[in-house]
Amino acid sequence: MAATLNHICQSSSSVRVLALNGEVLDAHKSRSTSVAGNVHYSLSVGWGARRLHVNRKALSGKKFGPAPAADIRATSGAEVIQQNVPATCDLKSFQEAVEKLEVDLVTEADLKENGFRSSRRTKICCTIGPACCSFEQLEALANGGMNIARLNMCHGTKEWHKNVIKNIRHLNATKGYCVALMMDTEGSEIHMGDLGGTASAKAEDGEEWTFTVRQFDGPLPPCTIQVNYEGFAEDVKAGDELVVDGGLVRFDVLETIGPDVRCKCSDPGLLLPRANLTFWRDGELVQERSAVLPTLSSKDWLDIDFGISEGVDFIAVSYVKSPEVVKHLKSYISSRCPEGSIGVFAKIEAIDSLNCLESIIRVSDGAMVARGDLGAQIPLELVPSVQQKIIDLCRFLNKPVMVASQLLESMIEYPIPTRAEVADVAEAVRQRADVLMLSGESAMGLFPEKSIEVLRNVSLRIEHSCREDKSRKYKPLPELYTALSERISEQICNAAAEMANNLRADAIFVYTRQGYMASLLSRNRPDCPIFAFTETRDVRHRLNMQWGLLPFRLDFSEDIESNLRRTFALLKARGMMKAGDLVIAVSDNLLPTQQANMLQSIQVRRIP
């Protein structure tokens, strides 16, 4: 399908129809009926029964301007509901439907107070740790804009994680939030131990430390760190450089004595429990030991079983080296929960991942740019370009992408970030990443709420700047699919997104059972928010991972006209929309048995 109506309309007996660029053109008039005060025209797009529908209250040769401002009157909630009861529904049933419409509390408040175009498109993930694990602390993060809660299985017991999951679920059920759950596996790479139970330790310049694989019955000796890899002392040699947590702290290896490796601190810094370790020799990363370590350890499989039993929404796999690892895990998840759906994210944090990047992302449900560990394996100056490459590839393949590690690292200790950190966050937003992730800033930092506030404010500012940049031209995405049915859905979503931009629509509506067309709309990064209506909470939570999607849970039918009428009435009753708002609507909500004869359409509607 061509991107504009100019390219798809053929002239015959004609009516006056407005093109996307504001020009009047002739289109074949296949039918004209009155639907709820709107004139309904159907324009053939050249695929048999599939047609592009354009609904306008008054079709003329004028541009579609923004919706006129509505008079805001002070009315009670009951009065608003009464005013919007459809003629086909009684007041009690409609009131129940209004209450059953599930939308995130923060999203609803934002739409009511600030309108459509002020809503944040970039999602925020917070790693949960000791600094933010209570119900009240989680509620504060959710109220600040947390969309995904990450459980890092490197830390904490299963009982601790189970309690966090319980709090998140209770928060969603009782407070009206929509926070998805992501479990992150530890992986088999070399890690430090838990520092004897202390929260952190400071390594000073020139200070000598011992890294050991020995086990201790009592407290650890001073300046001693346990390592999880038994062959560590055999692999390391004197003169090697030991890099902690992606370069936050560095040590020079002095000598190996049995199971111990004696080192001298060359770059001082804060040592954190379970931090990743790499070592370099003659300026090159030593990789021999990684070849014999499996991507998923025995502990990881136990953690995965725990995540499946708890029904998490996503599992992030650390140190993915090949697509086979992801395929194996997805097959295992399918066998364990055939009725459920858990998304598998590949963490890109190793050179091996970059060597087969596209094949890994194709089989995954999303990717995470884990810049900390990745920056320990490739030259630092390559990290920005690799980040851009991964984001672009994920968008092309229609997979959500997270940018993680050290976004606001200084806010672990300080209440405001550095200017460089703000610029880093702004660049990730400008690159159109789906999700920004906080790690230590939220898990163990002193200012988790302020950290999420910084991400929210920077995202809103940069997103607004991108929308207002008139020099930014619409760049069509490369075609994703080859099968005709998938190409049709892709082109429908491409055209809907471009229509929304050119008509300055207030929102795009999509009715979806599995999230398929919602993700295709998100891939286009339109200027307006995307209201994604789905019937299940699992799909609603998964949609919370993708750029620009505002997920709602709503029971709907296969009839898009009845869905639109009901949705307009419900959203007006909840105060999230008003008469005159301009909406683009698409749908993929038909059951598989009905799809052979479906009429796939784009509708342009003013809310009555």
Query: Cα 394–583–457 angle (5° rounding)?
Result: 55
Query: Same domain for 360 and 417?
Result: yes
Query: Same domain for 201 and 158?
Result: no
Residue 300, in any domain of the structure: yes
Residue 116, in any domain of the structure: no
**What's the domain count of the chain?**
4
Q: What percent of the chain is helix, strand and coil (3-state, nearest 5)?
A: 40, 25, 40
* Residue from 344, 303, 342 nearest 156 by CA: 303
Domain final residue, candidates 292, 310, 328: 292
Query: Same domain for 333 and 311?
Result: yes
Q: Check which CATH number belongs to the domain holding 427 and give it.
A: 3.20.20.60
Residue 476, in any domain of the structure: no
Residue 114, in any domain of the structure: no
Q: Per the structure block, which two tokens stand in for 306?
A: 């725990």
Residue 8 burial (10 A CB sphere; 0-12, 13-18, 19+)? middle
Residue 478, in any domain of the structure: no
Domain final residue, candidates 252, 276, 292: 292
Predicted local distance difference test score (pLDDT) of residue 47: 30
Query: Same domain for 221 and 332?
Result: no
Residue 440 burial (10 A CB sphere; 0-12, 13-18, 19+)? buried
Mean pLDDT by 10 residues, the chain (608 residues): 36 30 33 36 31 34 35 44 59 70 90 84 97 96 97 93 97 94 90 84 95 89 90 90 88 95 95 86 73 78 96 95 94 85 93 93 97 85 95 97 95 96 97 96 96 97 88 73 89 94 95 93 96 93 96 87 90 90 86 54 90
Residue with tokens 């963490």: 347
Query: Same domain for 139 and 239?
Result: no
Q: Check which CATH number belongs to the domain holding 575 and give it.
A: 3.40.1380.20
The gap between the terminal CA atoms of the chain, to the nearest Å, is 30
Domain that holds residue 6: 2-99
Beta carbons of 129 and 164 less than 8 angstroms apart:
no
Query: Same domain for 307 and 408?
Result: yes
Three-state DSSP class for 142? helix
Query: Same domain for 509 and 589?
Result: yes
Query: Same domain for 173 and 209?
Result: no
For the stretch 58-108, pLDDT in tens is 333 333 333 333 333 334 455 555 556 665 565 666 677 777 888 999 999
For the stretch 547-593, pLDDT in tens is 999 999 998 887 888 889 889 999 998 889 889 999 999 988 655 54
Predicted local distance difference test score (pLDDT) of residue 182: 98
Residue 477, in any domain of the structure: no
Instruction: Map 244-307 to HEC letters.
Output: ECCCCEEEEEEEEECCEEEEEEEECEEECCCCEEEEEECCEECCHHHHCCCCCCHHHHHHHHHH
Element at 598 (helix H, strand E)? none
Three-state DSSP class for 85? coil
Query: Same domain for 28 and 60?
Result: yes
Q: Per the structure block, which two tokens stand in for 317?
A: 């796999």
* Residue from 61, 53, 48 nearest 22 by CA: 61
Beta bridge partners of 14: 28
CA 42 vs CA 8, 171, 277, 560: distances in Å = 12, 45, 62, 15
Beta bridge partners of 267: 250
Predicted local distance difference test score (pLDDT) of residue 55: 35
Predicted local distance difference test score (pLDDT) of residue 247: 81
Task: Give the other-Cβ count within 10 Å of 76's Cβ.
Answer: 8
158-175 and 135-144 are packed helices; what angle lies between their axes, rounded to 10 degrees?
60
**Dihedral angle at the C-alpha atoms of 455, 571, 528, 54, nearest 10 degrees?**
170
Beta carbons of 145 and 126 less than 8 angstroms apart:
no
Q: Check which CATH number belongs to the domain holding 236 and give it.
A: 2.40.33.10
- pTM (global) more than 0.85: no
Residue 111, in any domain of the structure: no
Residue 335 burial (10 A CB sphere; 0-12, 13-18, 19+)? exposed
Query: Same domain for 8 and 19?
Result: yes
Query: Same domain for 258 and 149?
Result: no
Domain final residue, candidates 258, 275, 292: 292
Whole-number average pLDDT of the chain: 82
User: What are the helix (H) ranges across 472-559?
Assistant: 484-502, 516-523, 537-543
Cα–Cα distance measured from residue 185 to residue 234, given in angstroms and rounded to the nearest whole number? 26
Query: Same domain for 533 and 584?
Result: yes
Buried b (16+ CB within 10 A) or exposed e, 77-109: eeeebeebbeeebeeeebbebbeebebbebbbe
Residue 113, in any domain of the structure: no
